[in-house]
């Protein structure tokens, strides 16, 4: 792709802006570990929520969505649309609890909820497992997306592209280690504006290249006919899949909507919140800001962002049919049809998407390794400056390991599915540990180990492939069933946490009496104003809000005005219910 002088100027300005932010926040980040990882717990909701959105908008996201659309049409996105219910649970049931606990990482929560050697083992194990292999797999697929982009845009080899990516990681690491979470948050805001602007521009250009929305629908109908002749039923424009489709058979769709959202651990969509989503909640000013940040994140993540990606993906099927790697269709549209004066801005947008995710993953992974392993088990009495320095070197380690993983990785969406199935079955214990006193540390340990062993065994020796729709469904169902039986059995065969530990947690988190009645009797002075049915109503209304806006906007873009208006009205009604309920109850009853 030919870049003009103006294109290079846009790219240069983007990198200069990022470096300036890192230098500006340098002094604040070095003050303490609390400032480095949590911005002093003083972040407003709009900044924390936008940072969540920016982090989940990586360079891999539009490529993965393009691959899903190429295989299963618009309905292929149910792999991640199914997590709406989980996101709304986090907003209305868990966000305030996380902020109330006052921890630095979600893994530190382990030794607040549990006690003794089992809790210490769980904390150390989760810190290393999630902080290094899982985190580096995530970093690996984000790197892979950037490698694919650079190979196509610059015409370089895979190794050369990886070297360029290492340079970008070095710059990102510099900003992350220099400025801590404040620098990450502010650059996320800056990067999100660039990313959203340019993906909307590319969507407009892509639809125009096909001949307009009407021509796109006609040409996609022709593709549908060709696919039907090959036995692949259903329209590419369907929001709900044809259940006889080879790409999205009924069993797979039902697993998506019935199991995915609550049963499996996935970064950014952890049941009950976790990872960098929890980190942003911890950094919020208070419980109100924590709840609003998570609500804004889910609205933007599911309802606002998807359609520019989807439109480009649909256009790529017409403009570049039969690609061996359909994920590259997104980049090919950019190269072939974006005006020269905008290519530099689009590359800057891809760099922004890449760097915002990399910065968060590095900061989040380092927080696990340093706060929950090194500081807890290796060197407990060092100065804050020492831990900040160790955090910086840990960031370098994660960078190197992720680069090695990237070299051997081939599919972005395949890596997504692999991570989902290896975490299948752990979700329920993560949800219930807040609301059921009987769960102990061994419940979580057994769930994690069983989920990993079962899913990997089904793939290595059971002949199932997580990248095949039906196999994915069976891996999910078997893994969830086995893991749930195992962790429940372990829970009842092992003693509960001590009364002192449970009372202390109950006093701190105030999760409500239901599920904690034996402990509530031991802590009569604890005031718990549980949300109860009101939060359940808000949860349902939140799902209506997200799906109503998501599908309403989609229908309007595709020319179905009446259906689009009706769906938007339903979504806005859901939002009105939430606003009325929170206003009617008052924030004191919601967040106290």
Choose between 35 and 539: higher pLDDT.
Answer: 539
- What's the pLDDT at 530? 53
- The confidence score (pLDDT) of residue 178 equals 60
Do 403 and 538 reside in the same domain of the chain?
Answer: no
pLDDT band of 272, cuts 50, 70, 90: confident
Domain CATH number, residue 65 = 1.20.1730.10
In 3D space, the residue among 317, 349, 347 whose CA is nearest the CA of residue 333 turns out to be 317
Domain count, the chain: 2
Per-residue pLDDT tens for 69-111?
Answer: 988 889 989 988 999 999 999 899 888 888 888 777 788 889 8
Q: How far is residue 350's CA from residue 63's CA, in Å, rounded to a whole number?
A: 11
Across 133-145, average pLDDT: 80
Q: What domain range is 126 assigned to?
A: 1-260+284-410
Contact 509, 100 (CB under 8 A): yes
- Reply yes or no on whether the pLDDT at 508 is more than 80: yes
Predicted local confidence at residue 483, as pLDDT = 95
Q: Could you tell me if 392 and 537 lie in one domain?
A: no
Least confident of 226-235, 487-496, 555-564: 226-235
Reply yes or no on whether the pLDDT at 68 is more than 70. yes
Mark which of 380, 410, 440 sits at the end of a domain.
Answer: 410
- Are 401 and 540 in a shared domain? no
SS3 532: coil
Question: How far is Cα 94 from Cα 100, in angstroms, rounded to an integer?
Answer: 10
- Enumerate residues 6+ apart whose C-beta is below 8 A from 272: 89, 90, 93, 94, 430, 431, 434
Does residue 479 fall inside a structural domain?
no
This prediction has a pTM of 0.84
Residue 493 lies in a domain: no
Identify whether 564 is part of a domain.
yes
What is the Cα–Cα distance from 162 to 185, expressed in whole angstroms?
A: 26
Judge whether 104 lies within some domain.
yes
pLDDT at res. 366: 81
Across the range 404-431, mean pLDDT stands at 74
- Residue 269 inside a domain? The answer is no
Give the rounded distance of the alpha carbon of 40 from its chain centre: 23
pLDDT, tens only, 350-401 = 777 777 777 777 777 887 888 888 888 888 777 767 877 787 788 778 877 8
Most confident stretch, 25-34, 87-96, 164-173 = 87-96
Task: Map 292-304 to HEC letters.
Answer: HHHHHHHHHHHHH
387 and 239 part of one domain: yes
Q: Does one domain contain both 72 and 221? A: yes
Report whether pLDDT(201) > 70: yes
- Best CA proximity match to 512, nearest among 485, 533, 489: 533
pLDDT of residue 522: 87
The residue from 361, 378, 410 where one domain ends is 410
At residue 592, the pLDDT reads: 43
Residue 316 predicted with pLDDT over 90: yes
Do 537 and 406 fall within a single domain?
Answer: no
Higher-scoring residue by pLDDT: 394, 175: 394
DSSP SS3 for 49: helix
Contacts (Cβ under 8 Å, ≥6 apart) of 412 = 60, 63, 64, 67, 141, 144, 145, 327
Q: Is residue 70 part of a domain?
A: yes
Choose the weakest-confidence range: 259-268, 404-413, 443-452. Answer: 404-413
Which tokens go with 25? 């926040």
Assigned domain for 520 exists: no
User: Residue 414 — very low, low, confident or very high, per pLDDT cuts 50/70/90?
Assistant: low
Lowest mean pLDDT across 57-66, 170-179, 556-565: 170-179
pLDDT score for 207: 95
**372 vs 355: CA distance, rounded Å:** 25
The per-residue DSSP string of 183-237 comes to: HHHHHHHHHHHHHHHHHHHHHHHHHHHHTSHHHHHHHHHHHHHHHHHTT--S-TT
Domain-ending residue, one of 410, 432, 460: 410
Distance of alpha carbon 127 from the chain centroid: 18
On whether both 31 and 161 belong to a single domain, the answer is: yes
Q: How confident is the model at residue 591 (pLDDT cuts 50, 70, 90)?
A: very low
At 529, the pLDDT band (50, 70, 90 cuts) reads low
Domain assignment of residue 482, yes or no: no
Q: Which of 173-182, 382-391, 493-502, 583-592 has the highest mean predicted lDDT (pLDDT)?
A: 493-502
Share of the chain above pLDDT 70, in %: 88
């Amino acid at each position: 792709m030919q870049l003009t002088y103006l294109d290079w100027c846009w790219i240069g300005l983007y990198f200069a802006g990022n470096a300036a932010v890192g230098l500006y926040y340098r002094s604040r980040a070095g003050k303490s570990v609390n400032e480095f990882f949590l911005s002093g717990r003083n972040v407003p909701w709009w900044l924390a929520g936008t940072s969540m959105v920016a982090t989940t908008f990586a360079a891999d996201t539009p490529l993965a969505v393009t691959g899903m659309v190429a295989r299963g049409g618009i309905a292929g996105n149910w792999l991640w649309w199914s997590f709406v219910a989980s996101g709304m649970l986090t907003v209305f049931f868990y966000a305030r609890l996380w902020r109330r606990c006052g921890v630095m990482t979600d893994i530190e929560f382990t030794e607040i909820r549990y006690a003794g050697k089992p809790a210490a083992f769980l904390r150390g194990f989760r810190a290393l497992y999630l902080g290094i292999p899982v985190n580096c797999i995530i970093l690996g697929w984000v790197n892979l997306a950037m490698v694919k982009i650079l190979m196509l845009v610059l015409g370089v080899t895979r190794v050369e592209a990886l070297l360029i990516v290492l340079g970008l990681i070095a710059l990102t690491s510099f900003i992350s280690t220099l400025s801590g979470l404040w620098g990450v948050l502010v650059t996320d805001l800056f990067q999100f504006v660039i990313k959203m602007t340019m993906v909307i521009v590319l969507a407009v250009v892509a639809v125009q290249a096909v001949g307009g929305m009407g021509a796109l629908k006609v040409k996609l109908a022709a593709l549908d006919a060709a696919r039907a002749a090959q036995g692949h039923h259903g329209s590419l424009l369907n929001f709900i899949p044809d259940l006889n489709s080879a790409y999205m058979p009924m069993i797979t769709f039902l697993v998506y909507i019935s199991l995915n959202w609550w049963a499996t651990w996935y970064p950014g969509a952890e049941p009950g919140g976790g990872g960098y989503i929890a980190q942003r909640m911890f950094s919020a000013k208070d419980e109100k800001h924590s709840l609003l940040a998570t609500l804004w994140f889910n609205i933007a993540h599911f309802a606002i962002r998807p359609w520019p990606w989807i439109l480009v993906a649909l256009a790529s099927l017409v403009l570049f049919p039969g690609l061996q790697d359909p994920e590259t269709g997104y980049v090919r549209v950019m190269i072939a049809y974006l005006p020269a004066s905008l290519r530099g801005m689009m590359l800057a947008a891809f760099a922004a998407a890449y760097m915002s995710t990399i910065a968060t993953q590095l900061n989040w992974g380092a927080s696990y390794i340093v706060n929950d392993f090194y500081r807890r088990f290796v060197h407990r009495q060092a100065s804050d400056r020492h831990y900040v320095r160790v955090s910086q070197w840990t960031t370098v380690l994660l960078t190197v390991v992720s680069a090695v993983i990237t070299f051997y990785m081939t599919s972005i969406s395949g890596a997504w599915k692999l991570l989902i199935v290896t975490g299948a079955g752990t979700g329920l214990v993560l949800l219930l540990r807040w609301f059921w006193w009987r769960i102990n540390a061994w419940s979580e340990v057994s769930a994690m180990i069983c989920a990993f062993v079962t899913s990997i065994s089904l793939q290595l020796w059971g002949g199932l492939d997580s990248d095949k729709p039906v196999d994915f469904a069976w891996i999910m169902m078997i893994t969830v069933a086995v893991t749930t039986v195992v962790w429940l059995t372990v829970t009842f065969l092992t003693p509960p946490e001590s009364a002192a530990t449970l009372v202390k947690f109950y006093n701190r988190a105030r999760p409500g009496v239901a599920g904690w009645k034996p402990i509530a009797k031991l802590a009569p002075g604890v005031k718990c104003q549980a949300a109860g049915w009101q939060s359940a109503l808000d949860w349902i209304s939140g799902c209506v809000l997200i799906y109503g806006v998501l599908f309403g906007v989609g229908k309007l873009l595709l020319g179905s005005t009446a259906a689009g208006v009706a769906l938007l009205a339903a979504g806005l009604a859901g939002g009105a219910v939430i606003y009325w309920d929170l206003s009617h109850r008052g924030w004191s009853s919601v967040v106290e």
